[in-house]
Structure 1
Amino acid sequence: MSTPVIIALGSNDKGVWPDIGTLLDAAVNDLTRAGLGEVRRSRWWRSEAWPDPADPPFLNGVIRGVWAGTAVEMMTTLSAIEGRFGRRRSARNAPRTLDLDLIDFGGQRVEGADLVLPHPRATERLFVMGPLAEVAPDWRDPVSGDPVAELVGLARVGRDAVPVDR
């Protein structure tokens, strides 16, 4: 049995990659190799860094897929992939090579020390809701029940986010 999942990807530090889009494409490939199936990817969206717009701008996107394991196994996989891409956790919201957030795991609601589902701040972020609307236009927030199309208009963080052609 596979569970539908929503994962947000972002970066504002290309690290050793030629550009951030290439880095994010490679991360999607790693997720597929790790067992994420039926992957559907949004366009990449560009936005200023938040909360400090003096940091390099971000490229973000969302993928929808299915996962045969548990939410904890998914989180372990996301963390391992971030590490392979050079993610170092320093100051909160610091520039990073790769940020992978588990936004939704089959509509489950979990409030644990190491796992909160759905992602507690996703609906506030246009750079998550905009791409999510592209890959899962019928998605509803498991907490509020609000449809993603409505949440796009309500998101207040990253209001400058726009899709980029690639």
Structure 2
Amino acid sequence: MDSVLKDCRNKMEKAVSSLEKEFSKLRTGRASTGILEDIAVDYYGTMTPLNQLASISVPDSRTITIQPWDRNAFGSVEKAIMKSDLGLNPVNDGKIIRISIPPLTEERRKELAKLAKRYTEDAKVAIRNIRRDANESLKKMKNSKELTEDEMHKGQDEVQKLTDSFVEKTDQVLETKEKEIMEI
């Protein structure tokens, strides 16, 4: 039973960390290197993650700087950023690529908040699926006489407590992200 609970906790933690990773890609009014995480650059015919061919930094809250290690990659990096659906315009001065993060409109903030809620709902569904799988494992253990009826119910109560705590965590993560998105 302990292994089922441990496995359940690990999977739920992964669901929450996956949600946090999705949130790091959501653009807020603040500059963050996370929004460029999924950008792949056509580098000599190979799609390469941007962070593997350039150093990315945030000198201030409204600017991201990208410094490709290879001078020949500047054009490809610019194209990849423009092609992404982030709505960002890179400015290349020959040494460094700067991206100014424009302030978000009220409408865009609301769209991002809706998207954040959808990501949170997906994480909650994943957590509930993990709960269902754990409960099924406990039932199988009871049916194969590894657990008594009482132990199974005790295990299911523990699984439910875990589920409740992780659903609460996702709500807290969402609340924090919504504040960040709505901040002007």
Larger Cα-atom Rg: 2
Q: Higher strand share goes to which structure?
A: 1
Q: Report the TM-score when normalising by structure 2.
A: 0.26
TM-score, structure 1 as length reference: 0.29
More helix by share: 2
